[in-house]
Structure 1
Amino acid sequence: MNVPGFHTDQPDQLDQASRTGRSGGDVIRPHAEDAFAGELAALAAADDRPRPERWKLSPWAVATYLLGGVLPDGTVVTPKYIGPRRVVEVAVSTLATDRALLLLGVPGTAKTWLSEHLAAAVSGDSTLLVQGTAGTTEEAVRYGWDYARLLAHGPGREALVPGPVMRAMARGATVRVEELTRMPADVQDALITVLSEKTLPVPELGEEVQAVRGFNLVATANDRDRGVNELSGALRRRFNTVVLPLPATHADEVDIVARRVAQLGRSLDLPAVGDGTDEIRRVVTVFRELREGITADGRTRVKSPSGTLSTAEAISVVTGGLALAAHFGDGVLRAGDVAAGILGAVVRDPVADRAMWHEYLETVVRERDGWQDLYRACREVSS
């Protein structure tokens, strides 16, 4: 039976309080449903396709929100994810079934970003979140207790503190579990009954919470964490796994970096700078060549560093460079603004990575036409 007091139609008081004022201008990073509220509203108005119960949009509209498009009324929906369309379609259709979704990929492949936007488009709320770490406890996945009330009155519904999973089950919403494989194995296994039976037992009360229609779970995992707390076979069978690839082409990665840097610049109120596309292209080129172990022309093999050099790290390097150019430069993004960021991203091992980086500078960057300014800037910060 359901635990009385868990309402499925409206967010609870804690949700209401946490959402108050979230869309204000002082928020550094608005949640997806707030940042793109206009697009979501336009999609809902134009969406005449069947919607699964308690979904804010149809699967078609969710995919359009993620991939971008132009609506009949002329509203431009910006792409949130740049990658294979089929990946998004499989992810969305999975959430329309009773199977949970696992987004798997190397660091920086937009797993968290995609999970947030999926939850925002499906449920209108991306804040039901369990953050997986080595210290995540079973209470974070299931529920906790108000210990003052527990000591005063003993176990009771009033002392129960529902976690994000329990709240999502009761409301028929999407809950997110980030970095699932970072969580201890016994904590991971607390999800098995939730995903298989769609119930969450509360043995202290002799009751259970049953998931209502619309409930589902999106988890993310880094495939470089295999062997840390690898998923049990029983838990993995409860998920439909979608592997998120790295950007397929140089142009795709440049587009992703440029879009995210522009969004971050606006949210951080960075002073406007000149067009930084050329430097973005060079940062992406360096990262892709070192990541793939070969130059863009396919002629020279290069050693790869110990780090991942993901798209997310390229975004961080360029954003830091924009801040330098705006506050301490002439307002134009130049090689000197990104050199220190590239060094910090590439050289994680002070011995092996530094030797690899100097070899790349001397054999590739130094010899490339039009890259002398980047070579000098990188040598200056590397010395």
Structure 2
Amino acid sequence: MNLRDFKIHVPDDQIEDLKLRLRTTRFPASINAEQWDDGASLAFIRRLTEHWLNQFDWRVQEARLNRLPQYLATVDGLDIHFVHQTGKGPAPMPLVLTHGWPGSFVEMERIIPLLTDPAAHGHDPADAFHVVVPSLPGFGFSAAPTSPGVSPYRVAGLWLKLMNGLGYERFGAQGGDIGAGVSAWLARRFPEQIIGAHINYIPGSFRPPLGAGLPPVTADEQTYLDTVAAWSSAEGAYAAQQSTRPQTLAYGLTDSPVGLAAWIAEKFRTWSDCGGDVERVFTMDELLTDISIYWFGHMLDASFRIYKEGRLRPLAFETSERVATPLGVAVFPRELPMPPRSWVERGFNVQRWTLMPKGGHFAALEQPELLAEDIRAFFRPLRHALRPPAKSGG
């Protein structure tokens, strides 16, 4: 595995190009500029654009992010960008954290120190982790796939090779959104190397074993399926577009930074525990740092296309198969529709199921302390799997 140090540096001409595009934006009209019922609020997006143009300083954000230990590794011909922060404790456990869309590796910025150095935050140093945070292929500073088929299933294989290349033969996995799918595939595909998987979202592609000879769908499970159908009808247009015609969408959002900002900012508002006020949870600079990473990455087609790849390779079970790898689930109240525990237990060995008091889809950003505590608690009884076997006498 070809491993090298990495620092973010966006060329000056790309920053100037962005500012030119922001200055010459042609905004749409709106019946009510303040409301969000038809999509991103015109008043908010105008204010976000003005902040991006006149107050936001990419170089400040770039310098802050570059304090994280970042690397590039060539895995199966793809250059994968990742953060690798070693833990401080008697026996840190290796853990790969995977983001989703419209997030990025910066989703994990707040939670990394809570996991790598728990003692510095008032927790037991025995709960420390060596944390690896890769950028998904085609996201941020990871190279885009050059051929079809790079789904969460395939990403799980890439992450196994990445972690093994870093010297971690056995490790844990954690993620939300697409990262939950990657983590679930790691648990399913590589049970001998994955100590456990902790997720804060159940992938929409998860279809447990159902049918003749298996328990029928319960009332709670049917309520969940009905909720998903209603949610998809009201809120799922973005996923339908990204999973069927990602290339068409990419033309407009590759050319218009404000179009990209509106596409992403609406999701941060709708999917977070913000009570309708996105700035109650995220600052303008936090939103724009994430959006800027998508803009400067120049790979929007790939970041959308993973939805199509996931649809073509769903996390579906056709038999009574049940994954033995321990699974932990943190359920945040403002998350997208989440199934009952029984639905997940049809296919996975659920050992922890936590109902969180607050937070939404972007859990590592919104509630890093709560998520970190649940991760530590889930993996605590599994750490014995890292200990070498005792030597026999004689």
What TM bracket, shorter-length normalisation?
under 0.3
Q: Which has the higher contact order (CA 8 A, sep 6+)?
A: 2
Report the structure number with the largest CA radius of gyration.
Answer: 1
TM-score (norm 2): 0.25
TM-score (norm 1): 0.26
